[in-house]
Amino acid sequence: MDRILVVGSGDVARRAIPWLARRARVYALVRSPGQKAALRALGAIPIVGDLDRPESLRRIAGLAERVLYCAPPPTTGNDDPRTRQLLAALRRRSLARSLVYISTTGVYGDCAGEVVPESRPLRPQSARARRRVAAERHLRRFGRGGCRVSILRAPGIYAANRLSLERLQRGDPVLRPEDDVFTNHIHADDLARLCCAALYRGRANRVYNACDDSWLKMGDYFDRMADQFGLARPPRVARAEAERRLSPMTMSFMSESRRLDNRRLKRELKVRLHYPDIADGLIAARREVLQSSQESSVHAGA
C-alpha cells in the first residue's frame, strides 16, 4: 500500500485526506497534539512535529513515497527555512517518489491584466511572494535528485468557510472599474482534488496554475458574493481613496492584476473541476452556509 505524508494539515489538506486515505496509508504532520483526534477521524495517522524545530522531524525520514506539502512559509524574511528543514529531513532517508507543493500565483507579481501561463518570469512584489519563490527554488533543487516535484500555484482560495462576508458587512470599498484588477480563484474542494491528482499525475519539476476558468475583476467578484448572500454591494472608489480606507495588506492584493491560463492543468492532470465558474462555487457555498446555519439552529433548540 502506498504511504503518503501530508505536511501542513490545514483546510485544503483536510479536504484531500479522506480521498487519499481510501487509497493509501496517510500520515499527517501536525504541530499540536490537540489536532490528532480530528485527523484520525479523517483517516490519517497523526505525527506531531514542527517545521520550525528540525529535531522534531526525524520521524518523517523514509516514512512515505509521496508527500503533499501545504504548509506556508514563515511570516517574515525573504527565504523559507521551513521548506529547507523539511527537505533536509526527507533527504536523511528519502523514499519520496513524488511531492506536491501548494504555492501562490503571487509569485508572478503584477502582470497588468495580461494572460499568464506558467512559463512567465517570476517578479514577486511582496516579501510574502518572495518567500514562496524561495520555497519553489528549494523544491526544484530537491526534484533534481530523483523526486518528482509538482508545484500548484493557487490564487484566491474560497469555500463556504473562506468567504470575505465580514468585509461586505463592514461596507469596505472596492476599486472603481477603471482602477480595478483582474483576480483569479479556485474552490478549496477543487484545489484538494488537484493536489491528489498531482501526486500521481504531476510531471517532474512542473508548475501548474491551479485556478478555475473565471476571469473576473475583483469588484465584480465581491458584487457576485454580495448578490448571492443578500448583502449590499460594496461601494466603488478611486484607488487613492481605497488607500486611505483599507489596510496595506488589502491594498497589496488590489495592486496586482493577471488572468491565469489553466490549460496545462486540464491537459496534464486531467481533472474536471467541480466549480469551473465562480458563480457555481458561490451558489454551493451559500447552500453550505445555509445548511450549517439550519443545523446549528436545530442543535440549539434540542
> Above 60 in pLDDT, residue 246?
yes
Confidence of residue 301 (pLDDT cuts 50, 70, 90): low
CATH number of 3-159+185-215+258-275: 3.40.50.720
Confidence of residue 290 (pLDDT cuts 50, 70, 90): confident
Average pLDDT over residues 22-44: 96
Q: What is the pLDDT of residue 298?
A: 57
Q: What is the pLDDT of residue 252?
A: 92
> Above 90 in pLDDT, residue 120?
yes
Strands (DSSP E) contained in 133-278 are: 148-154, 156-158, 174-175, 182-183, 185-187, 206-209, 216-217, 236-237, 259-260
Confidence of residue 302 (pLDDT cuts 50, 70, 90): low
Q: How far apart are the first and last CA of the chain?
A: 44
> Above 90 in pLDDT, residue 193?
yes
Q: What is the pLDDT of residue 284?
A: 94
Mean pLDDT for the chain? 95
Enumerate the domain spans of the chain. Answer: 3-159+185-215+258-275
> Above 60 in pLDDT, residue 215?
yes
Confidence of residue 292 (pLDDT cuts 50, 70, 90): confident
Average pLDDT over residues 212-220: 96
Percent of the chain clearing pLDDT 90 (strictly above):
92
> Above 70 in pLDDT, residue 183?
yes
Confidence of residue 87 (pLDDT cuts 50, 70, 90): very high
Confidence of residue 283 (pLDDT cuts 50, 70, 90): very high
- Rounded distance, CA 150 to CA 245, Å? 39
Nearest to 161 by CA among 288, 34, 9, 300: 288
Average pLDDT over residues 8-32: 97
> Above 70 in pLDDT, residue 277?
yes
Q: What is the pLDDT of residue 291?
A: 84
Confidence of residue 299 (pLDDT cuts 50, 70, 90): low
Helical pair 81-92 and 127-143, crossing angle rounded to 10 deg: 20
Contact 65, 58 (CB under 8 A): no
> Above 60 in pLDDT, residue 177?
yes
> What confidence tens digit (pLDDT) does each residue in 60-85 have?
999 999 999 999 999 999 999 999 99
Average pLDDT over residues 220-224: 97
Nearest to 243 by CA among 255, 252, 251: 251
Q: What is the pLDDT of residue 88?
A: 95
Percent of the chain clearing pLDDT 70 (strictly above):
97
Q: What is the pLDDT of residue 297?
A: 60
